[in-house]
A and B are shown apart, each in its own frame.
Chain A
Amino acid sequence: MFAYVIRRILIMIPTLIAISAITFVIIQLPPGDYLSTLIAELQSQGENVDTAKIDALRAQYGLDRPMIEQYLVWAWGLLNGDFGFSFEYQLPVADVVGDRLFLTLVLNFTTIIFIWAVSFPIGIYSATHQYRWGDYGLTFIGFIGLATPNFLLALVLLYFANVWFGTSIGGLMDPIYIDQPWSIDKALSVLEHLWVPVVVIGTSGTAGMIRRLRANMLDELQKQYVVTARAKGLSPLKTLVKYPLRTALNPFIADIGNMLPQVVSGSAIVSMVLSLPTTGPMLIAALQSQDMYLAGSFLIFLALLTVVGMFLSDLALAWLDPRIRLGGGANR
């Protein structure tokens, strides 16, 4: 087990390096930098631009140095918890971001829990009641959930909440708590508002999970040992829970790897529509104004979220399934 963890961590390091490099290249892609945007803006307002001052600024932010050097400085800063400087807000990125990262984490984590909690009973029910009405109905709902893009769902929900209840379901807490320090009341308010985005983001993931769990359970239920157990008179519940369910559970954990990027993507755009104080809205603003370090930090954070999530899911899987733990990596 220990060797497996070490090997898994060693694999993660080059991945993280590559991710940071790709992120850096992407945020450097747009022609020009924030300062040239700023100059253009100032000139369009008819203001004089002091070239000496601009050069000084450029030197201060290291924008005049070669690309590779800029990257190394940036990556070193990341390792030390320094995310760089947000040009637009004139503040260190860490200060601008505030608790957005934390809220994003909470949102995504809750969504995963929601997906599990909902798809688990439904998947088992669908598998044990194959081709009954309940199965058909749930499968159909699942298909709709899979096909409806979640930002459209958010839009529709927002509309109906406005029409029926006259309230806005946007936001992640009551307005009075915004920019307030954390307190129990604030946390409760967040919990109160959390369910809407969680349901919206979770629908497609839940639908996919139900389909996979159902397929897995069906495979297991047809195997000989189930027939034997039944023939020997094991109670139906025990026949279900003790053996087939445990084997069918693997993808539950293993699928986090597929699910996480999807959930993170979904939360980014849903939080735009519902104007949640998470990374999504700020990421878009930063991308549009070429606030490169801010955008880069968000991208890195979101990628990190998925990589670490996959790592944890691999660990959990190894812990659950001796086949992976013992043969670990031999057939990779």
Chain B
Amino acid sequence: MSSARRGPVPHYVNKAPFDPNVTEVLTPEQERYYMATQWQLMWWKLRRHRLAVISGAVLAFMYFSVVISELLAPYALSTRNTDFIYAPPQGINLFHDGEFVSPFVYGLDYELNMETLKREYTPNPDKVQPIRFFCFGDEYKFWGAFDGSFHIFCPAEGGTLFLLGTDRLGRDILSRIVYGTRVSLTVGLFGIIISFVIGIVVGGLAGYYGGWIDNLTQRIIEIIRSFPELPLWMALSAALPVTWSPILVYFGITLILGMLDWTGLARAVRSKLLSLREEDFALAAQLMGAKPKRIIGRHLLPSFMSHLIASATLSIPSMILGETALSFLGLGLRPPITSWGVLLTEAQNINAVELYPWIMAPVVPVIIVVLAFNFFGDGLRDAADPYR
């Protein structure tokens, strides 16, 4: 107990310069990982989900084809080949008489079966019709504005190229499917934008304010959800005035699909907000005088935006299917607007389908797109929370 010990406790400080990197050395990979933004992490995680990547690529290709439908389709939308009504799909061959030609199809010979009155076409092995690439063929108006006639591939001069057959007016089904992609895929996209905006606004208000606003929106959502979707869509689209132009009907249908789809999204936003608004950072923002709009938009929403995008991706296919179903029933889009559902109305007649099964071809892209969206959305949802 010496008095010398009184006073401030001696404090040891190492004079040598301190370099935090020495104690814990990060490998370049680790550094890259720790410095990555959330979106980068999500991308890395998504990349590992092989099925999702493939699906994403398929979707990207489909949406890209929407931009250049006119170039991609060998025929124009309503070119009628009156000599080839209900022609079957022509297969692509590479070899003729054991010799390599460029990809070609055999020309079709037509005969009417007098017993069944079925149109029968047989490939004629003498007529070799090579497919032309980067060529000029049917005239079209690119996006309804510029005249053009350039195609990526077209039939031989004087020949035919019906890779998926023709319909009852002799129109090439493949070309019509390509054109239909433009409408079918964008319906889902516009619809989801509408439902996304409504869902975030309504769900945001309900979740942030709670109380009677929350109660009211919950009741409204419950009521909307208790209606079976399709009959409600049917009733609403039957209510679209007959006098509307096809393009107006298109937007009307998109609006209907979007207006009824937001409930799920609004619920997700609400439940997330209810818990997030209790977090400290929300309180801090509030104390610093931020307006509710800013708190919701800048502080709360971004923290689960990725989830929202993932769940929105998962609800696009239901809209595409909705449009297809409505048009199939004749309540949705009408010709001359062409979507997959409009094409499928031809398949309503089961007798025609039995004789000419290829008119069901538009079923295939529908299933592919819906599957791709589901897988892609699943991958996104898994990737949406990269820190877990």
User: A306 contacts the other chain (Cβ, under 8 Å)?
Assistant: yes
User: A22 contacts the other chain (Cβ, under 8 Å)?
Assistant: yes
Q: Are B226 and A149 in contact (CB under 8 A)?
A: no
Q: Are A284 and B370 in contact (CB under 8 A)?
A: no
Q: Are A288 and B370 in contact (CB under 8 A)?
A: no
**In the complex, chain B residues whose CB is within 8 Å of the CB of A26:** 232, 235-236, 239
**Closest chain B residue to A295, Cβ basis:** B235
CA distance A149 to B184 in the complex (A): 14
**In the complex, chain A residues whose CB is within 8 Å of the CB of B350:** 158-159, 162, 168, 170
Size category of the A interface is: 35 or more
**Closest chain A residue to B364, Cβ basis:** A152
Tell me how far the C-beta of B187 lies from the nearest C-beta in chain A, rounded to whole angstroms.
Answer: 14
Which chain A residues in 260-317 approach chain B with CB under 8 Å?
Answer: 260-262, 264-266, 268-269, 272-273, 283-284, 287-288, 295, 298-299, 302-303, 305-307, 310
Q: Are A15 and B222 in contact (CB under 8 A)?
A: yes
Q: Which of A15, A149, A151, A264 contacts B231 (CB 8 A)?
A: A264
CA distance A266 to B231 in the complex (A): 9
User: B347 contacts the other chain (Cβ, under 8 Å)?
Assistant: yes
User: A130 contacts the other chain (Cβ, under 8 Å)?
Assistant: no
**Closest chain A residue to B373, Cβ basis:** A147
Assuming the contacts A30-B238, A30-B241, asked whether A159 and B357 have C-beta atoms less than 8 A apart, the reply is yes
**In the complex, chain A residues whose CB is within 8 Å of the CB of B223:** 15, 18-19, 22
CA distance A156 to B344 in the complex (A): 12
CA distance A287 to B375 in the complex (A): 36
Which chain A residues in 116-172 approach chain B with CB under 8 Å?
Answer: 143-144, 146-149, 151-152, 155-156, 158-159, 162-163, 168, 170
Q: Are A269 and B325 in contact (CB under 8 A)?
A: yes
Tell me how far the C-beta of A222 lies from the nearest C-beta in chain B, rounded to whole angstroms.
Answer: 16
CA distance A233 to B348 in the complex (A): 60
Output the residue of B225, B226, B330, B350 with the most chain A CB within 10 A. Answer: B226
Q: Are A269 and B366 in contact (CB under 8 A)?
A: no
Q: Are B363 and A268 in contact (CB under 8 A)?
A: no
User: B156 contacts the other chain (Cβ, under 8 Å)?
Assistant: no
Q: Are B374 and A143 in contact (CB under 8 A)?
A: yes
**In the complex, chain B residues whose CB is within 8 Å of the CB of A147:** 317, 367, 370-371, 374
Q: Are A159 and B360 in contact (CB under 8 A)?
A: yes
**In the complex, chain A residues whose CB is within 8 Å of the CB of B375:** 143
A contact residues vs B (CB 8 Å cutoff):
14-15, 18-19, 22, 26-27, 29-31, 143-144, 146-149, 151-152, 155-156, 158-159, 162-163, 168, 170, 260-262, 264-266, 268-269, 272-273, 283-284, 287-288, 295, 298-299, 302-303, 305-307, 310
Besides A147-B370, A155-B344, A288-B331, 19 new A-B residue pairs in contact (Cβ under 8 A), listed by A number: A15-B222, A19-B223, A26-B235, A151-B325, A151-B328, A155-B360, A156-B360, A158-B353, A162-B353, A261-B226, A261-B227, A261-B228, A268-B231, A269-B230, A269-B325, A283-B234, A288-B330, A298-B231, A302-B231
- Going nearest first, the 5 A-B pairs with the smallest beta carbon separation are A265-B230, A29-B239, A287-B238, A264-B228, A261-B228
